[in-house]
Structure 1
Amino acid sequence: MVEVKKILACIDLSDYSEEVLDYAITLARMFRAEVVIINVINKREIDAISMAGQHYPELVNVATYMQRTKADRRSRIETLLDSVFAGNGIGIAIRIQAGVPFEEILLAINEEKVDLVVLGNKGRTNLARTLLGSHAEKVFRHSPVPVLNVRNRQKFAAAAERRSR
């Protein structure tokens, strides 16, 4: 039988985040596994802040931005866990990383020694191919462990309906 001891839940705080956590926590209960939640601050955001800081150093500071963003994202993830998944009875760790999302996810897979990755169908931009066409697809191609892609049946059907018009 396949042993799943640790699950990586890729959370970008989009509409799919709750569903990703639901699948990850449900599977963790079934396998009696731990969950590591990863959220990645995209390098493009950091680069944009850095460029703004070059022009307006008195207004923009990358270190301050990173500190506040990490704290905000951790707080939002903890709030989601407390409100929706309180008393889940499993070990949960949170990683807030900065970099290229798929690279950070692949790095976390190896560093955390996870056995399964759970990620959403679309990213924060909610453009159909932004995440699946780039970061998620690269995770699928390069992950050394199985990857579960979470979809919401109603959202998926509605998007398919819009595309067929």
Structure 2
Amino acid sequence: MPEAKNILIAVELHEQHAVPVLQWATLVARRTNGRLTLLHVNESTAALPTRGEFASASGMAPDAVERWRHHYETTTRAELQHLLAQHCGGVPANVLLPEGRAPAVILGAIESTQCDLVVMGTHGRPWYERALIGSTAEAVLRASPTPVLIVHNTTAPPTPPQLSRILFPTDFSPTSGPGEEWTRFWVAHGVHDVRLVHTVENPLLDLYHPDTVDIDMRRLMEESRQHPPRSAQPFWDHAHQLAHTKLSQLRHQLLSTAQGSSHIEIIVDEGPATDHILRVVTQSNPDLIIMATHGRTGVPRFLLGSVTSKVVRAVSCPVLVVPHPQ
């Protein structure tokens, strides 16, 4: 089963953006008796010239850059310590203030700290801006070997977040296995309201074993003459039945893990997966969505699309993105 003992928080200085991320990281740490590492990447001073270059170009004292860096680090550390005291009280935490480009530094910190979970925010910029310019969250999601909890931090919430309802969409592929493990993890840590979601997009996929469908050809031909769209109905029915069976097995496993009574609902429908998931999100208002990613990177991922990427961009609740182990 996964762990969330060592939690890395990538955070901005702006309090409005930092607070939701800190609150969610603290919620997780308190559930798991974990500790926090607060990481703020200083991209401003990373672009400054060296002391000698700065002095020769400006005529200022050679140590001016170092004094400026020291001032920035001192004030930033004080501000982050204040945020920790205000929103993460009682949880062990330390602060890292490296310089560099944020995506590369965060990915390096994931490796060096050997964290179990990364928590970071996204501003929810429009898809076209993010596709053309990129974003730190998107870059980390594409490359992180560690699960990333994405918190939409456009506004600070009026009350601390709750974690009682989770939504787990699955396509039953091997890449969804880690998502199942994290769903079990949260059920074992007190979540009692779970929705397991599967979308049947094509009943002829090998996933549904269409070659095992028992078809009465005479009856099928007669129905198809009267209702042409129903010619493939046996395959759709079979896919639905198989999906319900698989989700029922997962539901049974989750119930055996749960502490106390739990409500675990199975939802199977047809159509584009993203549309179906977003409908369920609107209807159920989950506190957290758990999604696996197939790990596509770069331009192919943008052009081909990704259900996980589209859901992360469209919803307002946090999304735990779980990569498939390479």
TM-score by length of 1: 0.77
Aligned to 1:78: 81
Q: Give me the whole-angstrom Cα distance separating, in 2, the residues matched to 1:98 and 1:65.
A: 13
Superposition pairs for residues 133-148 of structure 1, below 5 Å?
A: 133-148=134-149
Contact 1:46 1:62 in 2 (8 A): no
Q: Secondary structure at the match of 2:26?
A: helix
Q: Please name the residue that 2:37 is paired with.
A: 36
Greater C-alpha radius of gyration: 2
User: Where does structure 1 differ by over 4 angstroms across 4 or more consecutive aligned residues?
Assistant: 48-54, 152-155
Percent of residue pairs identical:
28
Q: How does 1:48-87 map to 2 (within 5 A)?
A: 48=48, 54-58=56-60, 61-86=64-89
In the comparison of the two structures, how many residue pairs are matched? Answer: 148
The aligned runs of 1:1-165 (5 Å cut-off) are 1-14=1-14, 15-42=16-43, 45-48=45-48, 54-58=56-60, 61-86=64-89, 88=90, 90-122=91-123, 129=130, 133-152=134-153
1:124-156 superposed Cα distances (whole Å, 9 cap, x missing partner): xxxx749x923221111111101111014868x
The structure-2 alpha-carbon separation of the partners of 1:57 and 1:112, relative to structure 1 and needing over 3 Å to count, comes to farther
CA RMSD of superposed structures (Å): 2.8
Please state whether the residue corresponding to 1:98 is helix, strand or coil: coil
Matched AA of 1:100: R
Look up the equivalent residue of 2:77 and give its one-letter code: R
Q: What is the rounded CA distance, in whole Å, between the counterparts of 1:46 and 1:53 in structure 2? A: 17
Q: Which runs of 5+ in 2 are unaligned?
A: 157-313, 315-326
Structure 2: distance between partners of 1:31 and 1:57 = 54
Code of the residue aligned with 1:56 in structure 2: it is: S
Shift of 1:54: 4.9
User: Which runs of no fewer than 5 residues in structure 1 stay unpaired?
Assistant: 161-165
